[in-house]
Amino acid sequence: MAARSRPAAALEPPTSASFKANVDYYFDRAAATLRLPEGLLHQIKACNNVYLVQFPVKFGNRYEIFRGWRAEHSHHQKPLKGGIRYAANVNEDEIEALAALMTYKCAIVDAPFGGSKGGVAIDARKYAPEQLEKVTRRFTAELIRKNFIGPGVNVPAPDMGTGEREMAWVADTYDAFHPGGLDNMACVTGKPVSQGGVAGRTEATGRGVQYGIREAFRQADDLKDLKLSPGLEGKRIVVQGFGNVGYHTAKFLSEDEGAVVVGIGEWDGAIYDPKGLDVSKVGAHRNKKRTIRGFPGAKTFDDPASCLEFQCDLLVPAALENVITEKNAGRIKAKVIAEAANGPTTARAERILLYRGIFIVPDIYLNAGGVTVSYFEWAKNLSHMSYGIMEKRKEEMTMNKLVSNTERLTGKAFPKAEREELVRGAEEIDLVRSGLEEVMVRAYQEIREVWLRRKAVTDLRQASFVVAIEKVAKAYMELGIFP
């Protein structure tokens, strides 16, 4: 596997730290292996629309001016899909890059959306909830004004700095502008379940990362050169970023898969314990102290980036883009890097990592769990029907008869707990998890097949972009836009 992971030298990675420049490089590197019309490739790569807005919000007797963006990368499928990010340093380059990744990500998992992304330059930690509500509602109004939001137009979701609370405000604002709209709740996903959300959406990205990593670690042939055995049991893991995605990823990998989380990094430091960290207890400590620093039994490091260089089998960057660069790529000790964040590895860093034989499971695939479950929520809102409600009781009656007949014929009874589990009909959360796992497993196998079968494709990221480009190209050609 290490030999297959060495990148081709045809394209030189960008020297720029621009997030978009790195995404464009990955696109070009994959496109170079395909026989598609040049004009079609330009259309797929280009960002169709970018809306920049500056808007005032009144807090008491003063006004603050905020800057926000919404990028629409591709309209080959409609509506468009992508989160809204609240971060002090968000900018147009970042929003365009994230919108492009959303296009490719949706294509990889066969979610019927074009790619989009939004953001507001704000440090949400410095504002009270009622202030954030004002900002969110005003930004939503600006998107409505320019037709950059709607169930069949453009459907936002949570991203860094936002969550189900903000999405509920977005939905309510949209509904106020469109009274009586039957499908208004489908204008945004990631809402609370009580407001039209779907069970499992909050942890969906982390759950998808779990399923993707699990599938990667099932491939014995791919792990041979890394001197790793199949499965995640006992594997040492470091997670960089302990927000929604990082926390749930660490929790699921340790509790469900038997992995040992030895290190966690956050914005203000990192902690390490070779014997393993109890993720739930670290989360409780963070919630109480507002920091992971000083967690009992663990060594605290002042430098947040130090966790990237901890000794481990698997490194999961789950925070910001461009955290693994050519400056620290040579010091990474992990054998596998699983990118839960968007764009955590620069192109120049990736070249170093691949040359060293480090296996990378790319962001464009791995963190697609969020948009996959957002698809489930959007479809639920349009159907006005909760998943499982029609078949749950029928399922339970059928399974109860089957189990009862089995007990009668064998003369033996199932243990009570096992019997209850066997006859229980599927709830919405069960169906959501089942659907998400199916999507993540199927997508990984499709990407891996391209990586293994096409000689010009040297790594999983390039394979992922190849899969995405071919699917988007097919959509454009079937629309008749390109012959």
Q: What is the pLDDT of residues 303-332, one digit of tens each?
A: 999 999 999 999 999 998 999 999 999 999
Q: Which helix (H) or strand (E) holds 245?
A: helix 244-255
Active site residue 117: yes
**Burial state string for 311-347 with b = 16 or more CB within 10 A and e = fewer than 16:** ebbbbbbbbbbbbbbbeebeebebbbbbbbbbbbbbb
Burial class (CB in 10 A: 0-12, 13-18, 19+), 290: exposed
Q: Which of 117, 191, 335, 392 is catalytic?
A: 117
Distance set, CA 298 to CA 241, 248, 271, 285, 310 (Å): 17, 20, 6, 12, 13
Q: What share of the chain is helix, strand, coil (3-state, %, to 5)?
A: 50, 15, 35
Q: Look at residues 15, 27, 28, 30 and name the one whose alpha carbon lies nearest to residue 458.
A: 30
> What is the reported pLDDT for 10?
62
Using CA atoms, how far apart are residues 468 and 483, in angstroms rounded to an integer? 19
Distance set, CA 327 to CA 22, 207, 309, 448 (Å): 16, 31, 12, 29
Q: pTM for this structure?
A: 0.93
Summarize pLDDT for 144-198 with one digit per residue, the tens.
Answer: 999 999 999 999 999 999 999 999 999 999 999 999 999 999 999 999 999 999 9
- The stretches in the chain having pLDDT less than 70 are 1-10, 483
> What is the reported pLDDT for 16?
75
